[in-house]
């Protein structure tokens, strides 16, 4: 592959990263905070994300920065200041060579499942990747060292490394106590889909729990099996995951058109 082909592929990924950031904002998965990244297609030890900027306002490749996977430092030392939580991305890429895209979100629909005993599980066919036992919850307090500031942020390599372990054994979404969630995938399109539908699944599950609680007239202190909801089975989740994997381009193309039609967003990459 010659340099022109590589340049074109990289430029297309820049555009996808910007579109993906806009899509995540459009769907309220990201607000002024949160971020999306991808692993460099020709340099596995490099990943790309924007500098410290609100996702909706990323508009050109000039806003994007290459970082080293080994220490999350910019390849160009004079690069504009980056996100303080980029260690989330670097440590995941370091531990999992098969992961090529990462989203970190503070979704308010998901946060309740990070602080309660109710697991976030696949309850409809568009979020089968959440699994049938519940997305794991990462508690940063369990990994703090004496010199860490307990501000709930992943600002060090050791905290990022602890979070990255939660993506072992094929897990693709990890909840973060009192913080949000992180999703991973093999492509930008797939990780955006997983982030969007993780939030939708949380909203649907919460609504169903409230409906079921009202129906059962659950009183304070009563115990039920998460109010008797019928979640996806293992077989259903596996089959539905295959379906979402091959159909990812359908929502992606729609979402790109949506953000292109919205004057808030600009993508000149």
Per-residue pLDDT of 120-131, as tens digits, reads: 999 999 999 999
CA pair distance 47, 58, nearest whole angstrom = 17
Q: How far is CA 84 from the centre of its chain?
A: 16
Instruction: Please choose, from the candidates 84, 123, 136, the residue with its C-alpha nearest in 3D space to the C-alpha of residue 204.
Output: 123
What confidence score (pLDDT) does residue 3 get? 80
What confidence score (pLDDT) does residue 217 get? 61
Determine the average pLDDT of the residues in 36-50.
Answer: 97
CATH superfamily of domain region 3-192+199-260: Class II aldolase/adducin N-terminal domain (3.40.225.10)
What confidence score (pLDDT) does residue 84 get? 96
Instruction: Please choose, from the candidates 163, 12, 177, the residue with its C-alpha nearest in 3D space to the C-alpha of residue 102.
Output: 163
Q: What is the mean pLDDT of the chain?
A: 94
Determine the average pLDDT of the residues in 7-36.
Answer: 97
% of the chain exceeding 90 in pLDDT: 89
Q: Where are the beta strands (DSSP E) in 33-73?
A: 35-39, 46-50, 64-68
pLDDT of residue 118 exceeding 90, the answer is: yes
Q: b/e map of 26-38 (b: 16 or more CB within 10 Å)?
A: bbebbeeebbbbb
Contact 48, 67 (CB under 8 A): yes
pLDDT in tens, 73-103: 999 999 999 999 999 999 999 999 999 999 9
Q: Which residues touch 12 (CB under 8 Å, ≥6 apart)?
A: none
pLDDT of residue 219 exceeding 80, the answer is: no
What confidence score (pLDDT) does residue 2 get? 81
Q: Where are the domains of the chain?
A: 3-192+199-260
Catalytic choice (85, 91, 225, 258): 85
What confidence score (pLDDT) does residue 227 get? 56
Active site residue 85: yes
What confidence score (pLDDT) does residue 201 get? 98
What confidence score (pLDDT) does residue 214 get? 73
pLDDT of residue 251 exceeding 70, the answer is: yes
pLDDT of residue 22 exceeding 70, the answer is: yes
Confidence band (pLDDT; 50, 70, 90) for 196?
very high
- This prediction's pTM: 0.94
Max CA distance (Å), the chain: 68
Confidence band (pLDDT; 50, 70, 90) for 4?
confident
């Amino acid at each position: 592959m010659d340099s022109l082909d590589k340049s074109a592929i990289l430029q297309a990924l820049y555009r996808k990263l910007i579109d993906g950031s806009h899509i995540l904002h459009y769907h309220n998965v990201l607000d002024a905070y949160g971020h999306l990244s991808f692993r460099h297609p020709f340099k596995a030890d490099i990943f790309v994300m924007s500098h410290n900027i609100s996702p909706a306002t990323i508009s050109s490749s000039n806003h994007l920065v290459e970082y080293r996977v080994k220490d999350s430092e910019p390849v160009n030392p004079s690069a504009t200041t980056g996100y303080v939580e980029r260690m989330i991305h670097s440590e995941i890429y370091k531990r999992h060579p098969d992961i090529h895209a990462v989203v970190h979100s503070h979704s308010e629909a998901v946060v309740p499942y990070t602080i309660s005993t109710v697991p976030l599980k696949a309850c409809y066919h568009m979020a089968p990747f959440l699994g049938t036992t519940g997305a794991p919850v990462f508690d940063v307090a369990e990994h703090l060292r004496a010199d860490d500031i307990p501000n709930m942020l992943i600002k060090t390599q050791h905290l990022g490394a602890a979070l990255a372990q939660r993506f072992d054994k094929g897990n693709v979404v990890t909840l973060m106590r009192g913080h949000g969630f992180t999703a991973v995938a093999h492509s930008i399109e797939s990780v955006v889909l997983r982030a969007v539908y993780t939030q939708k699944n949380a909203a649907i599950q919460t609504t169903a729990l409230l409906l079921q609680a009202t129906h059962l007239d659950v009183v304070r202190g009563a115990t039920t099996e998460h109010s008797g909801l019928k979640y996806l089975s293992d077989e259903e989740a596996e089959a539905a995951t295959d379906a979402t994997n091959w159909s990812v381009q359908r929502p992606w193309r729609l979402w790109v058109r949506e953000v292109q039609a919205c004057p808030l967003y600009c993508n000149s990459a």
